[in-house]
Amino acid sequence: MVKKMPQTTDSDRELLGELGIDLTAPAPVQYSPREERIIAGFEEIERFVSAQGRLPQHGDDRDIFERLYAVRLDRLRRLEDCRTLLEPLDSRGLLTATPDLEVPPALDDQALLAELGLDGAAVDDVTQLTHVRSRQDIKAAEEIAQRTPCEDFNQFKPLFQQVKQALKTGARHTLKYQDNAAIQAGNLFILDGQMVLVAAMGEFFISDYGRPNAELRVIYDNGTESNLLLRSLQRALNRDRTSRRITELVSNFGPLFAPQNLTPTDRHTGQVYVLRSQSDHPFIAAHRTLIHKIGMTSGDVNQRIIHAAKDPTYLLAAVEIVTTFQLANINPKKLEALLHRFFEAARLDLELMDRFGLPVQPQEWFFVPLGAIEAAIAHIQAGTLDQVHYDLETASIIAR
């Protein structure tokens, strides 16, 4: 026997209307072709995270698709319209997660209940409160949340940009914040996915609990600031399991090259390679002999560039190997970071569209002639790179 469902009467509708309940089915969401491509691209990133249990990473040693996903995620985070579109769909917080965060696989219902400290018997017990924050934790969260626009953010914005670049090149690193570790003026942290600068610190005083404390001026990389106490910032950093301390800038890379007379026991650590793009982009085609990618690899360069035409790292086009330099007893990543910092002023500022219609901006291409790259490497070998700099106007290396 098929049981008929009761029909909704006019009096039912009136009662539901008085209660503010709308029975009208929500209209289906309509997306433009571009929005559908953006969502499809984001879903590919989510599938990668589900399979690997972590965010996609940059680096020549990564799979081509992982590098593509990493570049795409960076761009999605930067574009406000993309964030607005994807935030309601981002159930795993990928748009705000830090690069070094390991993302756990999705939990089923039972695993989720266990993660929340609940079992089947406890679910219906409304008198049992689990994982309720203390008043002290709530107060710390409220203090952190009281942010105002930073009126002089233009003074701090270049620093945040430099720090982000230094993290990419390896000149700075991030370390897990240790519980109640020391905080000083000028320190940088990553808190709740945002970069945080301790811009100023007042004199220490003894709090009501007999512990030293101080007033801080804290600047966030989204253009806001807050005035809070040192202990409040420490509590916030302790509470955020993904919080990180950003290390000081590494100004001395140490000896990079081995002695001139190499022996059979010397360790060959890879090679520097210089590439030239075969892209038909108008700007690249017009300046082809002046645009080069400077990279490092411990493997075969030819193998590295097989899929260049599909990789944003290589300007989505085939590339030509211009020259290579063999390395021995050298840290390849430190050498790469040093060369990128040396030519920073000549870094190529060019946006391309990937196959999903999203803009990408590769970071390892420079508007530098080959002779200048060769000269820079010669100065590194001679230990005199600190005595010269790259001059944009003459496109050459000159003495400081």
Band (pLDDT 50/70/90 cuts) for residue 110 is low
> If you average pLDDT over every residue of the chain, what do you get?
76
Overall average pLDDT of the 94-121 stretch: 53
pLDDT of residue 195: 92
pLDDT of residue 130: 40
Overall average pLDDT of the 215-224 stretch: 92
The alpha carbon of 49 is separated from its chain's Cα centroid by a whole number of angstroms, namely 15
Band (pLDDT 50/70/90 cuts) for residue 35 is confident
pLDDT of residue 329: 64
Band (pLDDT 50/70/90 cuts) for residue 2 is very low
Cβ pair 341, 294 in contact under 8 A: no
Q: Assess whether pLDDT exceeds 50 at residue 132.
A: no
pLDDT of residue 385: 78
Q: What percent of the chain is predicted at pLDDT more than 70? A: 72
d(CA 53, CA 290): 41
pLDDT: which is higher, 373 or 168: 373
Q: Assess whether pLDDT exceeds 80 at residue 164.
A: yes
Q: What percent of the chain is predicted at pLDDT more than 90? A: 11
Question: pTM of the prediction?
Answer: 0.39
pLDDT: which is higher, 299 or 198: 198
| Residues ≥6 apart with Cβ < 8 Å to 3 | none
Q: Give the model confidence (pLDDT) of 377-400 as tens digits.
A: 877 776 677 788 888 888 888 887
Overall average pLDDT of the 176-183 stretch: 76
Q: Assess whether pLDDT exceeds 90 at residue 197.
A: yes
Q: Assess whether pLDDT exceeds 60 at residue 122.
A: no
Q: Assess whether pLDDT exceeds 90 at residue 189.
A: yes
Q: Assess whether pLDDT exceeds 80 at residue 151.
A: yes
d(CA 156, CA 161): 9
Residue 283 — φ and ψ, nearest 5°? Answer: -70, -45
